[in-house]
Amino acid sequence: MGKSKIVVVRSSDVIRASGKVNTELLARTVEQGLCRLTSEEEPADAISHFYSPKDKIGLKVNCLAGRMASTHPEIALVVADLLKTIGIKDKNIVVWDRSSRELKEIGFPLNANGSGPRCFGTDAQGVGYSQELINYKQIGSLLSRVMESFTNVQVNLPVLKDHSLSGVTCALKNYFGAVHNPNKYHDDGCDPFIADLNQVPQIREQQRLVVCDALRVQFNGGPSYHPQWAENFGGIIVGEDPVAVDFVGYQIIDRIRRKHGLPDLEKAGRKPKHIFTAADEKHKLGMASLERIELVEMRI
């Protein structure tokens, strides 16, 4: 079994002193990360590894925790622009999460059918959840119709954070926002629920690429925003393997925690078990060890 390639690209200037994102620099960061991931020279060729002009693409962001602890809208817009360079039409790009209110609150431009990529929550009128229950392992949920009816493949755009229950929230946990009842999956550190949910065929088959927002990393006290524990890491993590992305994110959080004199997540009693469950023989969703990951770290 081969290694999973993960690219971490950092730029100390991508978040300006004002706190705003340097969009131009962010675009270069994402593009270079994707090129390195795919060994391509051109960003359009890189994104073509994962998507074709026929696809209807969902950009699944995480915007539950307010403006300061959610996926930056700029990342979604950069990825959407990149998708358009390979001929994907605006109407076939949907930036989405659980609710339109939360998307709007953190600065996503809601857009049902106007010009530009579409953007709305599962709770928008006419969207909602599937009629049929997913009944799979420990999962009993209705799936967002964004995944069922509006898109056929996803770009996973999570935000890397510490999480009081699961230890880490990143790519795997981002799909909690795709079902109607995530509150039912919080027991036992969300394990094995996160892994089981990612193994559901409707989700697993749509997962192609992760572009993780690690611009500002909430390394303690998450998933809520606490400024005293938020680090301007200035990074993005890209990869095909969501488990490996989460594993690398886990290492980054622990590294930042050590720098700030905090115990590792495991010592703090919240080792992200779900990452290892997702990698186990029953799930085989990806790699969760450094020996199985080809980690490339870049700086711009």
For the record, the structure tokens of 134 come out as 């997913």
Query: Measured between alpha carbons, how far is residue 162 from residues 80, 206, 240, 256, 286 in Å?
Result: 27, 25, 22, 11, 21
Task: List Cβ neighbours of 45 (8 Å cut-off, separation of 6 or more).
Answer: 38
127 binds another protein (CB under 8 A): yes
Q: By C-beta, is 55 or 102 nearer to another protein?
A: 102
- We find the least distance from the C-beta atom of residue 159 to another protein, in angstroms, to be 14
120 binds another protein (CB under 8 A): yes
159 binds another protein (CB under 8 A): no
Q: By C-beta, is 139 or 243 nearer to another protein?
A: 139
Position among 77, 78, 88, 142 found at the interface with another protein (CB under 8 A): 142
| Rounded distance between C-alpha atoms, residue 19 and residue 149, angstroms | 37
- We find the least distance from the C-beta atom of residue 281 to another protein, in angstroms, to be 22
117 binds another protein (CB under 8 A): no
| Rounded distance between C-alpha atoms, residue 5 and residue 27, angstroms | 21
Kindly identify the residues of this chain, within the stretch 194-253, that bind another protein according to CB under 8 A. Answer: 221-226
Residues 107, 67: contact at Cβ < 8 Å? yes
Site string for another protein, 57-96 (x = CB under 8 A): -------xxx------------------------------
How many C-beta atoms lie closer than 10 Å to residue 87's C-beta?
Answer: 13
Position among 111, 152, 202, 251 found at the interface with another protein (CB under 8 A): 111
Report helix, strand or coil for 281. coil
Query: Measured between alpha carbons, how far is residue 119 from residues 22, 73, 95, 242 in Å?
Result: 22, 11, 5, 23
Binding stretches for another protein (CB under 8 A): 64-66, 99-101, 104, 110-114, 118-121, 123-129, 133, 135, 140, 142, 145, 164-165, 180-181, 183-184, 186-187, 221-226
